Structure 1
Amino acid sequence: MKIKLFLPAILIFVLCCCSCSNEVDPDYLPSFDGIEANKDNIFFLDRESKCNKIYVINTKENKKINTYEFNNIYIDYLVYDASFDLNPYLLINNKLLKFDVEFGRLIEIGLDYTPDYLEIVEDKLWVIPMSVGYKNVPKRYLTYDASIDKTEYIIIPEGLFIGSYFIFNGNTYLPIVFQSDAPKIYNLTTNKIISNLFTNDKSYYDYYLIKSYLFSAYYNNDNKLVYDVYFVNSFEPTFNYNYLFTTDEEYLFGAIYENENYLYYMDRDYIMLMDKKDNYTVKSFKELNGDSRNFVTYCRNGYIWLVSDNNDGAYKVDMDDLSYEIIN
């Protein structure tokens, strides 16, 4: 009888130990072989169920030069801008991390709140908190200056800054949103709130600023999310703008680029070319299969680059006709 009881006890002990050995330490950060920090490199995030990957594409050599595998680690967010730093920045397990690619190490930057995502505004990295915005309720944001390795908290007097910005006449403008009020624009340079931009009957709940374009989000009569797109001539002393177009309800907004003749409007699964001199008529359209979560795109060396997670690499899109090749 003692033997019969003893054997099941051993089996239970072994199973428990095996179970423990498969658990992932939330504080564990992997290390990798180093690569050269190069301004021609771009970084893409590809999420798989158990192994998130970061692809490094060299846009000058036109090839993928490395793949970093994060086994059993979920990468919440990635942002990279070579004009800010030659290293990407990540969010993993509510930690803000600098990926030092030359040494292949992840360096934690202290943070005392739960982050949602990251945005690079001029020469600083902003850590957007997981929160909502309220009227007359200040919110603080950790910012990081990579050139001097310094963090600083910036307080915005109300609302929630959700990323994107516009620089005009030496002023930096940020969109801020609210739980139950219309969005506003915050002049970061003068600490001034600009409200009531529009007097139309549309209930805008979100603004997105990129270059001179203002994307104003609302739900149409069919309860579908669309954006009214405006070209902003100035916010101050008066709000001066031109209405351009309203987006199709089938296509969400991810990013835009432009040149003298065309606007390139894209999201995770498509890219379209719009003729600026022909009332922003769509001249070409391509369906793609990009990253379904963390949308990252670049405009380098005359091409637009987007992740191609099905091909373990990137789309290299020609800006003349949207033809593309896959770099993997």
Structure 2
Amino acid sequence: MIDLTRQPLSFPPPDEGSPQHVRSVSTSDIEEQAAQLRGWQQHYSQLSSGAFRGEFRELELHGLQLFFETTSSNLFQTGAIQKDTIAIGLPLAYKGEGHFCGEAMSETSLHFFSGKDGFEYLSPESLIMSGIVIQTRDLLEQLTQREAEVVSALIEKPQLVKVDAHSIAALRQFITSISQMAEHAPQALENEQLLHSLGQSIFNSFIDTIVTRIDRDAPRLSNAQRLKLIKDVRDIVVSAPDAPPGIQDICNALNVSRRTLQNCFQVSMNCTPLDFIKIVRLNGVRSMLRHSTTVSEAAAHWGFWHFGNFARDYRALFGKLPSEEHSLLQKKR
């Protein structure tokens, strides 16, 4: 189980300056809380004693909804999501035990709320649930035929879906950083191009986590084929620096499956394709720092929408903050 003593999310009340793509509320009533998930037909019953506290944040990102819901009490939830819609939940933190549609929650399970039948959820205390909501058609159109077949089977009924432990941990870290960005740098959500890029990144991160269980027997490439594929991916990234490609974009452009792409980078680079794309972009920023006036100019050119995460990733790769690197490189000119 996940038991975090420090809550990773904060939900300040919205104000007049909040981006139009963000909705954030706090509640003290379970019925009001249940109503925040629009279209879900939710009903909550409180089981544990004490005053209820709930919070909800919703980000609308070009056909994709990202939500974060915090509930303080142990609840019995029932509901059903609207037709032709898929919802995939990712618990970020909770205390105690929970059961979804008769199955015990675990750190390595995603919640599939979708399907023809309604769901029952005995949710644990201090639950922070994140997730995405997307139209079924929009989701399946972005998958390969094999992926679409497997995902279609998974969404037929509400259930827990076990995935790779490393992948889901990375997904939690990424989704938590999105919430922190929405709180500390909400101005980023006013940029339409960044909203599109962010939506694609969220979609790809969820799908990549799910498809770790798909096509495990994908054909292995030779060393030469892997190096050629890596070069081709780099060329795609460099060709449009301010619009990082999604994994499905790359698969379509290079006519490879997600699993083949994953295997290639795992074997040759010991990283994921998304890690490699980020590394290429960070190197692009470093090269641009020699000539750019500011660090933010170079970061924006290479599509980095969250400056705090960008600075952290830059230092992890190069051993210096981008501001320090910029000063040193400028002195050498």
Please give the TM-score of this superposition, normalised by the length of structure 1: 0.26
Indicate the structure (1 or 2) with the bigger Cα radius of gyration.
1
- Select the structure that is richer in helix: 2
- Select the structure that is richer in strand: 1
Q: Determine which structure has greater relative contact order: mean sequence separation of CA pairs < 8 Å that are 6+ residues apart, divided by chain length.
A: 2
Please give the TM-score of this superposition, normalised by the length of structure 2: 0.25
